[in-house]
Amino acid sequence: MAVIRDVMPAFDLLQPDSIADAQRLLQQNGSDAWIMAGGLDSFDWLKDRIKKPRVLVDLSGIDELKGIRATSDGVEIGAMTTLTDIANDPEIRKNYSVLSDAVSVVASPQIRNQGTLGGNVSQDARCWYYRGGWPCYRAGGDICYADTPVGRNREHAIFGANRCVAVHPSDSAPALIVLDAKFVIQTPKGERSVDAEDYFVGPETDITRLNILEPGDLLTAIRIPSAWAGANFYFEKVRDRNVWDFPLMNVASAKVLNGNAISRIRIAVNAAAPRPMRLKQVEDAVVGKPADASTGQAAGELAVQGAVPLQFNAYKIPLMRNLVKRAIAGTPEGA
């Protein structure tokens, strides 16, 4: 079990100042290397002495990884851009506001000032057994402590369980999925770009990680195409406390309306499953229908079909139903 200590285990601190240099160091050190962005997730693991990398590759000195740039078809956000910079960026707020809305409710102002977009989408699961150093499936063991009759699983998954029932904790992920963002990854074999929804992996693919990155890979940027620029967006996060807290669930949608009829839509939720869920079935079912409460109700019912609650999280089923309903109808209930 984890014992919290003030002193981190010793590691070599490497501080590249270019992407090429970082890549070289990552490739040289393979699975011995730990990438550090803002450090908010990283330092938890290191200070709890649960993860003990031999080498830390600190990205903070790489200017190429920072900033928001216009492209010929949208915007590119460097992986080391802070959540605060994204929340305040005029172009993101004007045309891609589902993302600025999502990052604005991540944690606290201090965490948003330090936390980066690359780190937010690459952060690890928050299941307290795993974070506490318990030797569960995700940590390489052969048991899930959360998925037992007495396990503490109120925050855990209602979809996608496969031995592990932890959820993906990111608020930015569903917003990036509805914007059809592309994640740019430098690998030892060259650059590759993947759709946002394909960046994340569930335990059926690999129970020890939440994304597709292999040792030696570096997420360098996230590109948002103009396909959904200026759409009718919705983002809502439900959490236990409004000061700072991870999502119990969140929802993001992008709609293009013809009158009040939905002509194009994307909708995604997070913290419902071990990876963010794009609700393709719901999207297909509501095209051509009015963006109103009745369509939203039917969409919500469809979205929760197949949900399997654990002992203490059945509340997530009506929560998801209502979030999807509101993301279709467009107004928070009671507003």
Using CB under 6 A, which residues numbered 312 to 331 contact ligand SF4? none
SS3 61: helix
In the set 46, 127, 179, 185, which binds ligand SF4 (CB under 6 A)?
127
Is residue 246 involved in binding ligand FAD (CB under 6 A)? Answer: yes
Is residue 35 involved in binding ligand FAD (CB under 6 A)? Answer: yes
DSSP H helices, 1-55, are 19-29, 40-47
Q: Where are the beta strands (DSSP E) in the chain?
A: 12-14, 33-36, 55-58, 68-71, 74-78, 182-187, 190-195, 218-225, 232-238, 249-258, 261-270, 277-278
Is residue 246 involved in binding ligand SF4 (CB under 6 A)? Answer: no
Contact criterion met (CB below 8 Å) for 117 and 79: yes
Is residue 130 involved in binding ligand SF4 (CB under 6 A)? Answer: yes
Cα 38 from Cα 220, distance rounded (Å) = 14
In the set 145, 159, 200, 246, which binds ligand SF4 (CB under 6 A)?
145
Is residue 119 involved in binding ligand FAD (CB under 6 A)? Answer: yes
Exposure string over 302-335, b if 16+ CB within 10 A, otherwise e: bbbeebeebeebeebbebbbbbbbbbbbbeeeee
Is residue 169 involved in binding ligand FAD (CB under 6 A)? Answer: yes
Supply the minimum distance, in Å, between the C-beta of residue 295 and ligand SF4.
34
In the set 56, 68, 80, 146, which binds ligand SF4 (CB under 6 A)?
146
How far apart, in Å, are the Cα atoms of 10 and each of 47, 50, 55, 215? Answer: 11, 13, 9, 20
Question: Which among 290, 283, 304, 262 is positioned nearest to 180, based on CA atoms?
Answer: 283
Contact criterion met (CB below 8 Å) for 105 and 97: no
Unique residue bearing structure tokens 């003030």: 6
In the set 25, 219, 249, 324, which binds ligand FAD (CB under 6 A)?
219
Find which of ligand SF4, ligand FAD, none residue 145 binds, CB within 5 to 8 Å per kind: ligand SF4
Is residue 248 involved in binding ligand FAD (CB under 6 A)? Answer: no
In the set 35, 36, 79, 164, which binds ligand SF4 (CB under 6 A)?
164
Side-chain half-sphere exposure of 326, counting CA atoms within 13 A: 19
Contact pattern for ligand FAD over residues 41 through 70, marking x by CB under 6 A: xx----------------x-----------
Unique residue bearing structure tokens 């869920």: 277
Is residue 106 involved in binding ligand FAD (CB under 6 A)? Answer: yes
Interface with ligand FAD (CB under 6 A): 34-42, 59, 79, 106-107, 111, 115-116, 118-120, 122-124, 169-171, 213, 218-219, 244-246
Interface with ligand SF4 (CB under 6 A): 125, 127, 129-130, 136-138, 144-147, 156, 164-166
